């Protein structure tokens, strides 16, 4: 029997490349067709066919307090009365900039943009201008948006397309993009040694979410900082995902390592499209109109997005215990699924840090992209579909982190674990 989701998807494919506006949404790596979402509230998504799902993607991270939080919704409704977009300065831009600077220890000045991709692209351009060098170093499996240089050995949806590098990326771009192995300081050291005085910046997800969740080993990020200092390169933390997800000061506030530049997104928009990059004033003052490095955006600092983002950040500062609650929920899910796997005699790998989580269908420890690629994608697809049938919406890719929101309570945890147990037993019993 057909569903409205299938009907809409077939129509979408005639109008939109692949039927989706972001590749991972097409369910290619998990099989079947995507479900079309009608609405979201709290811990739940509802599709166009009336099915309800516990939400474990949270719009890919922004929904720290759950979908459509009433205080954020109220703030946006109030802002609507003043207009949708100005294309001119507004106080909201100043207020959210002030809030970000007060919360992130390394950021002295910040520029608002419209997406995480914009933020990382601008940060790389700025780093090249500041250092007067051309090459950048990124890490295999890290995804920093769809800018040309970031699609070299990228993670996220790129990894499941079967093409690690995207056609359309020029040879010269690839030549200036060096790739290291995450959690391997020697691989980074070798790149610096073989490209003396040529590296402008190292860009890294301090906690990786786009090869599935991968956690930095002890001392790794401090090692990155030391190598960048030694070789005169800037260190860029891509905290589009981890910014305000792991703590009120970003993951840099947890690990104690300060980058030169930080990129942000997701949570700072409260669910609306937004991005930002910031860092030391000396570097940021090179951005036009203060300096010569050009970057602009018609909708940057949009009053609705800044309103939602400011409301979100205020919620965080007013409720700092949210991170304790989120960690408890993450721990409960991790220990519950681990027990289920042990009962079935399976030794799959669970990486969990606070409210971020990935179950890898591999017995290997997962500390980098090569480790992640040992996961059995067919098994993940089976698990995803089994969970979806039982009312749990997971990221439709092995190479994406799950995101837990504060709206998920004991009842939802119990529902997730019950669905997981039934699905795993269906797969392996």
Dist. CA 429–CA 30, nearest whole Å: 21
Contacts of 212 (CB under 8 A, 6+ apart): 351, 358, 360, 366, 372, 375, 398, 399, 400, 401
Dist. CA 285–CA 261, nearest whole Å: 12
Q: Is 238 a catalytic residue?
A: yes
Read out DSSP for 278-327? EE-HHHHTTBTTTSSB----TTTT-HHHHHHHHHHHHHHHH-TTHHHHHH
Predicted pLDDT at 345? 97
Q: Is the pLDDT of residue 150 over 90?
A: no
Give the number of residues written for the chain: 429
Q: Is 82 a catalytic residue?
A: no
Residue among 24, 61, 30, 377 nearest 207 (CA): 61
Predicted pLDDT at 141? 86
Which H or E run includes 421? helix 410-428
Predicted pLDDT at 364? 96
Q: What backbone phi and psi angles, to 5 degrees, belong to 191? A: -65, -40
Q: Is the pLDDT of residue 163 over 60?
A: no
What's the whole-number average pLDDT of the chain?
94
Q: Is the pLDDT of residue 154 over 80?
A: no
Predicted pLDDT at 167? 72
Contacts of 200 (CB under 8 A, 6+ apart): 124, 127, 128, 130, 131, 133, 134, 135, 136, 233, 234
State the residue for tokens 């301090």.
206
Stretch 29-42: mean pLDDT, rounded?
A: 96
Predicted pLDDT at 397? 95
Contacts of 188 (CB under 8 A, 6+ apart): 137, 180, 202, 223, 224, 227
- Kindly indicate the confidence band of residue 256, based on its pLDDT and cuts at 50, 70 and 90: very high
Contacts of 65 (CB under 8 A, 6+ apart): 72, 312, 315, 322, 405, 406, 407
- Classify strands 52-55 and 392-393 as parallel, antiparallel or unpaired: parallel
Q: Is the pLDDT of residue 165 over 60?
A: no
- Kindly indicate the confidence band of residue 152, based on its pLDDT and cuts at 50, 70 and 90: low
Predicted pLDDT at 153? 55
Q: Mind listing the pLDDT tens digit for each residue in 166-214?
A: 677 777 777 888 999 999 999 999 999 999 999 999 999 999 999 999 9
Q: Is the pLDDT of residue 54 over 60?
A: yes
Catalytic residue among 8, 44, 143, 251: 143
- Residue extents of the structural domains in the chain: 4-68+321-428, 70-318
Stretch 415-421: mean pLDDT, rounded?
A: 98
Q: Is the pLDDT of residue 160 over 70?
A: no
Dist. CA 338–CA 288, nearest whole Å: 51
Q: Mind listing the pLDDT tens digit for each residue in 273-304?
A: 999 999 999 999 999 999 999 999 999 999 99
Predicted pLDDT at 186? 96
- Classify strands 261-265 and 275-279 as parallel, antiparallel or unpaired: antiparallel
Residue 1, both tokens: 């029997």
Stretch 118-123: mean pLDDT, rounded?
A: 96
Predicted pLDDT at 158? 40
Q: Mind listing the pLDDT tens digit for each residue in 357-405?
A: 999 999 999 999 999 999 999 999 999 999 999 999 999 999 999 999 9
Catalytic residue among 184, 238, 371, 406: 238
Q: Mind listing the pLDDT tens digit for each residue in 70-90?
A: 999 999 999 999 999 999 999
Predicted pLDDT at 161? 36
Looking at domain 4-68+321-428, which CATH architecture does it have?
A: Alpha-Beta Complex (3.90)
Catalytic residue among 109, 135, 266, 329: 266
Residue among 281, 285, 412, 316 nearest 72 (CA): 316
User: pTM for the complete prediction?
Assistant: 0.94
Stretch 116-128: mean pLDDT, rounded?
A: 95
Predicted pLDDT at 392? 98
CATH class (in words) of the domain with range 70-318: alpha beta
- Kindly indicate the confidence band of residue 408, based on its pLDDT and cuts at 50, 70 and 90: very high
Residue among 116, 96, 91 nearest 107 (CA): 96
Q: Is 143 a catalytic residue?
A: yes
Q: Is the pLDDT of residue 69 over 70?
A: yes
Dist. CA 138–CA 158, nearest whole Å: 15
State the residue for tokens 């200092």.
229
Predicted pLDDT at 1? 54
Output 141 or 253, whichever has higher pLDDT: 253
């Amino acid at each position: 029997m057909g569903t409205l989701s299938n009907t809409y998807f077939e129509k979408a494919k005639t109008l939109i490349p692949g039927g989706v506006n972001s590749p991972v949404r097409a369910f290619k790596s998990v099989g079947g067709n995507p479900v079309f979402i009608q609405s979201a509230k709290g811990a739940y998504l509802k599709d166009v066919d009336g099915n309800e799902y516990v939400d474990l993607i949270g719009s890919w991270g922004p929904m720290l307090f759950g979908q459509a939080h009433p205080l954020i919704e109220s703030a946006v409704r109030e802002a609507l009365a003043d207009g949708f977009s100005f294309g001119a300065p507004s106080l909201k831009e100043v207020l959210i900039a002030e809030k970000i600077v007060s919360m992130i220890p390394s950021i002295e000045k910040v520029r608002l943009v419209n997406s995480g991709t914009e933020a990382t692209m601008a940060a790389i351009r700025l780093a090249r201008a500041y250092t007067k060098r051309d090459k950048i170093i990124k890490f295999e499996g890290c995804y920093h948006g769809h800018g040309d240089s970031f699609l070299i050995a990228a993670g996220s949806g790129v990894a499941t397309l079967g093409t690690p590098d995207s056609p359309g990326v020029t040879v010269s771009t690839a030549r200036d993009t060096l790739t290291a192995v995450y959690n391997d300081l020697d691989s980074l050291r070798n790149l610096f040694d073989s490209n003396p005085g040529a590296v402008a910046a190292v860009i890294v997800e301090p906690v990786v979410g786009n090869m599935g969740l991968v956690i930095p080993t002890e001392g790794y990020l401090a090692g990155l900082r030391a190598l960048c200092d030694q070789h005169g390169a800037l260190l860029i933390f891509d905290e589009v995902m981890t910014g305000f997800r792991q703590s009120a000061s970003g993951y840099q506030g947890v690990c104690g390592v300060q980058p030169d530049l930080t990129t942000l997104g997701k949570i700072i928009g409260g669910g609306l499209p937004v991005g930002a990059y910031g860092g030391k004033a000396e570097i940021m003052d090179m951005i036009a109109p203060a300096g010569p490095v050009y970057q602009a955006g018609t909708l940057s600092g949009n009053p609705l997005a800044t309103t939602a983002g400011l409301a979100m950040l205020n919620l965080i500062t007013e409720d700092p215990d949210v991170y304790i609650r989120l960690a408890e929920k993450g721990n409960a899910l991790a220990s519950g699924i681990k027990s289920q796997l042990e009962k079935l005699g399976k030794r799959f790998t669970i990486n969990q840090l606070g409210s971020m989580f990935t179950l890898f269908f591999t017995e290997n420890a997962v500390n980098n992209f090569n480790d992640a690629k040992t996961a059995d994608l067919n098994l993940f697809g089976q698990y995803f579909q089994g969970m979806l049938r039982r009312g749990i919406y997971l990221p439709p890719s092995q190479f994406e982190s799950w995101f837990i929101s504060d709206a998920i309570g004991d009842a939802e945890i119990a529902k997730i674990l019950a669905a997981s147990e039934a699905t795993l037993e269906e797969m392996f019993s």
